[in-house]
Amino acid sequence: MQKQFSLEDILAMERFYRRDFMNTISGYRSCHLLGTLSYKKVPNLGLFNSITHVGATPPHLGFIIRPLTVPRQTYHNIKAQGYFTLNQVTEELMHQAHQASAKYEPDHSEFEAVGLKTQYTDTHPAPYVAESPIKLGLELAEEHHIKANGSIFVIGKVVEVLIDEVLIAEDGHILLEKAGILSVAGLDSYYKPALIDRLDYPRP
């Protein structure tokens, strides 16, 4: 039986029930480990499921930072250094990635805390997750304050990509299923998606 919820019903839900309800009802989302470097050069790592494709030419991606009512290490590091990385999560990395969402002290490396290795290149200062099969290096482009709830939409320009060439199809399509990339719903539920089909470009 279909049940109807009004806005008032949703707001009246118990806090954690409402959090899980609204975090999962929008469906599956991507799952990335976001790497930054603090002004003290301490590697920082956080788990994010709000990554959004902004454009391909030039390539930009964005993500949501919750309101700055408490210190947000990821945001402050990006503002200080101007760079960050996005690293896709596989089933093998699931437990370490989930643990990376814990609140560690600013002088404690999450990479070290969860047992993941940092990887750097000569052209990008922020740390990559060495174990991730698909890594993107981004430079801060702009940010937008969301008046509705105080969140911040951060946009980064993709300046570097690290990927095993066997994961790239002849037409440029990334074979996410071959890499074993996970998706997530809510704050604690991980899924392993499978390709159903690739359809032709739609035309009238």
**CATH number of domain containing 161:** 2.30.110.10
Assess if residue 194 is contained within a domain. Answer: no
- The total number of residues shown for the chain amounts to 204
Assess if residue 22 is contained within a domain. Answer: no
Assess if residue 148 is contained within a domain. Answer: yes
Read off the pLDDT of residues 137-195 as tens digits, 9 standing for 90 and up.
999 999 999 999 999 999 999 999 999 999 999 889 999 999 999 999 887 889 998 88
The SS3 call for residue 14 is coil
Assess if residue 12 is contained within a domain. Answer: no
User: How far, in whole angstroms, is CA 6 from its chain's centroid?
Assistant: 30
Q: Evaluate if residue 198 carries a pLDDT over 90.
A: no
Look up the pTM and report it.
0.91
- Domain of 67 in residue numbering reads as 28-189
Residue range 42-64: average pLDDT? 94
Assess if residue 9 is contained within a domain. Answer: no
Closest by Cα among 125, 72, 140 to 101: 72
Average pLDDT over the chain reads 91
CA pair distance 137, 121, nearest whole angstrom: 10
Assess if residue 45 is contained within a domain. Answer: yes
What's the domain count of the chain? 1
